[in-house]
Structure 1
Amino acid sequence: MATSVKIDDDLKARVQTLAGQRRRSAHWIMREAIREYVEREEARESFKQEALASWAHFQETGLHLTGEEVFAWLDTWGTDDEQDAPECHT
């Protein structure tokens, strides 16, 4: 699928300069920038949806861990006394 993107002359010059420095084509630089942006935004949206689902689950069940409980558990990681995750509670 061919798509065109209009960019101003300043940005075009910056892309061309960067492409020369990286020994890549301007097309490659723009594709890479778009790919990285889309991946970052997809990850951000996934994180947001996971947080919303977690919040909805908490509102329905009241199950949770306190920050103190989580930090105490994490403090055991990598030690001889490494603990399993604590049980959620209301």
Structure 2
Amino acid sequence: MPTSTTTLKIDNKLRERIKKLADSRDRSPHYLMLAAITEYIEREEAQESFKQEALDSWREYQETGLHLTGDEVKTWLRGWGTEAETDIPECHK
């Protein structure tokens, strides 16, 4: 995968903390910073995806009125892994 260089300005205290942690983990500061940025981006992308899915579900509900109640979902989930397990209930108005 192609890479490029970018500059990140950090204060000396944070730089020293990164170096200390990198040394204790037998890793480079570059490795730790890249891992931290990657983890942050993945977490934020997952949160954005969840938010978008919720907004899409809300729009669909507003258009169709189809839904399941919280109790219907709880009952369905309680059956998971038991002899009472069923397919997801049908949405209704």
TM-score tier (shorter): over 0.9
Distance (whole Å) between structure 2 residues aligned to residue 88 and residue 14 of structure 1: 53
User: Residue 70 of structure 1 corresponds to which residue in structure 2?
Assistant: 73
Which residue, out of 3, 7, 12, partners 1:4? 7
- 1:1-40 map, 5 Å: 1-40=4-43
Identical-residue share of aligned pairs (%): 60
How does the TM-score come out when normalised to structure 1?
0.97
Show structure 1 runs of 5+ residues with no match: none
CA distance in 2, matches of 1:11, 1:36: 18
User: 4+ residue runs of structure 1 moved beyond 3 angstroms?
Assistant: none
State the aligned residue count: 90
SS of 1:82's equivalent? coil
When normalised by structure 2's length, the TM-score is: 0.94
Residue 81 of structure 1 deviates from its aligned partner by: 1.8
